[in-house]
Structure 1
Amino acid sequence: MLTTVTARPRIRLTFAADLHLFLAPDRRGAPFSLVTDGTSSLGHVVEAVGVPLTEVGELLVDGRPAPAAQVPTAGQSVEVRGVQRPQRVPGAPLRFLLDVHLGTLARRMRLLGVDTAYENEDIGDAALATRSAAERRVLLSRDRGLLRRRELWAGAYVYSDRPDEQLREVLGRFAPVLAPWTRCSACNGLLAEADKESVGEQLEHGTRRSYDVFAQCTACARVYWRGAHHARLEAIVAGALREFAPLSGPGDD
């Protein structure tokens, strides 16, 4: 009995320049061919070469838009584009979840009033992805493997390892509504005005003597005032508002 061996299909892939970071060095900068198994979807093929689908915008097959679930066939040319900016995420309100390595970014996002959950312990990829789905939060991470988890509701790779640049990345990509000084930097709770008498027992004597304007977290009761670090925080807020406030929007369709 004769057995027919079917050749595996070969396709041609082109990736947008901003996605080259995820590719092997010999696949950057120019289209390349790839032999597939004939059953894997476009989404699987793209992730197999290293690119998380969270970073992928439009997929084109022979110049026509195609879903990630489509299975490519022999001879087809696939163009993989990056996400459009600002990126709109269905299902308002726009909220975020950051992994254990992005603590400084989390505090700066909260400073700007962006709803930002943060895990200050390593709870594991599965738990993070599950929380993203349960709370409908965009998971931000520099872990490419985490962003490929199927449980994710939505996610985004943070390209820089510098907090200033990370903040600009997130604000430029998602254009969240900015409401500075409205969230607790410690727990993400909402802040409310507080009079000195009501929070006096939580203040050092020098603070009670020097300051009159206070805010308190409605969730964890932490007290805030314009202390020694206020000028540095004000500079962060002013810079973000100057560059990104005109872009701010609801973040939904």
Structure 2
Amino acid sequence: MNGPEILIDFAPELGMFVPHERRNGPSKAVTDGASTLGHVVESLGVPLTEVGALMVDGAEVPASHIPAAGETVSVRAVPRPQPVPGAPLRFLLDVHLGTLARRLRLLGVDAAYESTDIGDPALAARSAAERRVLLSRDRGLLRRRELWAGAYVYSDGPDEQLRDVLGRFAPALHPWTRCTACNGSLRAASKEEVADLLEGGTRGTYDVFAQCVECDRVYWRGAHHDRLERIVAGALAEFAPGGQADAN
């Protein structure tokens, strides 16, 4: 870029995306006189999915604003909780976030997941077609213009990833209502209905079952239930009003 020079200041929450020299207050940036402010911000490393208000000389402007020489720009972080207008809150996770997808489903959150790498264009297109918030740690993917909405997942550990998404979007929690394998809805099932799908030991030990209406997978309170219960209880205590799941 070789054009108007501006001062740009990034919120501390966005520091991980920009070079060290831009993390401690306003710094100079040279634009080309034609690119939008949104393009300038992304060229400096910050996906627009992570940006809240863009302020120019104290007034909020859209990402389509063309910077002029001498302007002072403040780039704020996206608000938390972040509203997602115009559609039911649903997610799409890329191939690297399988554990997070299963935990969201455990909590009853609609979380589609691609278990194979279908490529960035296809993921972005699915986000737009199904109006899902794309969750990813791939900054390049989150810059694709086809996206309906997206969010960077800041941690590489499943526990913190879950807290990050729940804290950012505040989805309604309905534990034990979704299949962790395929994201379908669960229904109560009698032992007789699912007997042919059970091992002999399971049939003799357990009496309460649920079954996915999409893939027919059967669930019961097996050896891993205590660990899953801790995940659910922790999420409800921190993110559900009064520590309880929504009634609906």
TM-score (norm 2): 0.96
Q: Indicate if the aligned counterparts of 1:176 and 1:249 stay in contact, CA closer than 8 A.
A: no
- Which residue of structure 1 lines up, in the alignment, with residue 230 of structure 2? 235
Q: Which among 130, 146, 164 is matched to residue 151 of structure 1?
A: 146
Deviation by residue 1:128-169 (Cα, 9 ceiling, x = unmatched): 000000000000000000000000000000000000000000
Alignment of 1:99-110 (within 5 A): 99-110=94-105
Are 1:161 and 2:156 an aligned pair? yes
Question: Following the alignment from structure 1 to structure 2, what is the Cα–Cα distance between the partners of residues 211 and 44?
Answer: 57
Deviation by residue 1:86-144 (Cα, 9 ceiling, x = unmatched): 00001231000000000000000000000000000000000000000000000000000
- Which residue of structure 1 lines up, in the alignment, with residue 29 of structure 2? 34
> In angstroms, what is the RMSD of aligned CA positions?
1.4
Compare 87-96 and 152-161 and name the one that shifted more.
87-96
Q: What SS does the aligned partner of 1:145 have?
A: helix
Structure 2 portions without partners, runs of 5+: none
Are 1:211 and 2:214 an aligned pair? no
Question: Following the alignment from structure 1 to structure 2, what is the Cα–Cα distance between the partners of residues 92 and 152?
Answer: 14
By how many angstroms is 1:249 displaced?
Answer: 11
- Which residue of structure 1 lines up, in the alignment, with residue 107 of structure 2? 112
Question: Following the alignment from structure 1 to structure 2, what is the Cα–Cα distance between the partners of residues 28 and 22?
Answer: 9
Q: What SS does the aligned partner of 2:87 have?
A: coil
Q: Indicate if the aligned counterparts of 1:111 and 1:237 stay in contact, CA closer than 8 A.
A: yes
Question: Following the alignment from structure 2 to structure 1, what is the Cα–Cα distance between the partners of residues 182 and 15?
Answer: 36
Gap change, CA 1:91 and 1:220, over 3 Å in 2: same
Percent identity over the alignment? Answer: 71
- Which residue of structure 2 lines up, in the alignment, with residue 220 of structure 1? 215
TM-score (norm 1): 0.94
Are 1:67 and 2:56 an aligned pair? no
Alignment of 1:45-124 (within 5 A): 45-124=40-119
Q: What SS does the aligned partner of 1:73 have?
A: coil
Deviation by residue 1:221-243 (Cα, 9 ceiling, x = unmatched): 00000000000000000000000
Q: What SS does the aligned partner of 1:72 have?
A: coil
User: Number of matched residues?
Assistant: 244
Deviation by residue 1:169-216 (Cα, 9 ceiling, x = unmatched): 000000000000000000000000000001000001110000000000
Q: What SS does the aligned partner of 1:14 have?
A: strand
Gap change, CA 1:139 and 1:200, over 3 Å in 2: same
- Which residue of structure 1 lines up, in the alignment, with residue 18 of structure 2? 23
- Which residue of structure 2 lines up, in the alignment, with residue 134 of structure 1? 129
By how many angstroms is 1:42 displaced?
Answer: 0.6
Structure 1 portions without partners, runs of 5+: 1-6
* Larger RCO, structures 1/2 (Cα 8 Å, 6+ apart): 1
Q: What SS does the aligned partner of 1:207 have?
A: helix
By how many angstroms is 1:29 displaced?
Answer: 1.9
Deviation by residue 1:37-80 (Cα, 9 ceiling, x = unmatched): 00011100000000000000000000001000010100000000
By how many angstroms is 1:25 displaced?
Answer: 2.0
Q: Which among 172, 177, 184 is matched to residue 172 of structure 2?
A: 177
- Which residue of structure 2 lines up, in the alignment, with residue 3 of structure 1? none
Q: What SS does the aligned partner of 1:34 have?
A: strand
- Which residue of structure 1 lines up, in the alignment, with residue 4 of structure 2? 9
Q: What SS does the aligned partner of 1:140 have?
A: strand
